[in-house]
Amino acid sequence: MLRNLEKSIIMSMLNIVTYPDKFLRQSAASVKNISETTQEIIEGMVYTMYKSKGVGLAAIQVGFDKSLIVYDISQPEGKRSLQVLINPKIIESQGSTTSEKEGCLSLPDLRANVKRSAFVLVEGIDRDGNPRRIDAEGHLAIVLQHEIDHLNGILFLDYLSLLKKELYKKHIKKKIRGR
């Protein structure tokens, strides 16, 4: 039965876990082997990311406790450049930059400037099990930091001032009460 459920992932949009769900605060488990199930999860994540008009998505955001991210920073009108990273880790980071109006599919209605490292070196493996080493700067560095944060239970909300956090929490509580 689980296998059939996961096969249907490819054809449908996955539910995006949204704040304040505590699942987003979990650290993701390492992927031990890249199984058919892992490939199906990746396909579901890719479909969901593109349909949601996101540039990145961590497995934890769609209810899978796995250290896995998908991302594509190409422009919507450009050629797609999908990337998959399994068990990604930031090995090195340098400098400082501001991610302007950063957003997140798990934090609807929130955009904010966030301080991030200007450069990151990330290691992981691709969906075929090949080692990947990525020297990233600019938008790519920001996306990688954002998605890897998700795998560690960190939300970009955590980088904001106490006032901005409290305003967002009030907004979400009001939205939940209004349902």
Pairing mode of beta strands 56-58, 68-71: antiparallel
Asked if 23 and 60 touch (Cβ cutoff 8 Å), the reply is yes
CB 72 within 8 A of CB 49: yes
Q: Which active-site residues does the annotation give? A: 147
76 cis-preceded (ω within 30 degrees of 0): no
The Cα–Cα gap between 36 and 39 comes to 5
One-letter amino acid at 157 equals L
How far is the C-alpha of 117 from the C-alpha of 131, rounded, in Å? 23
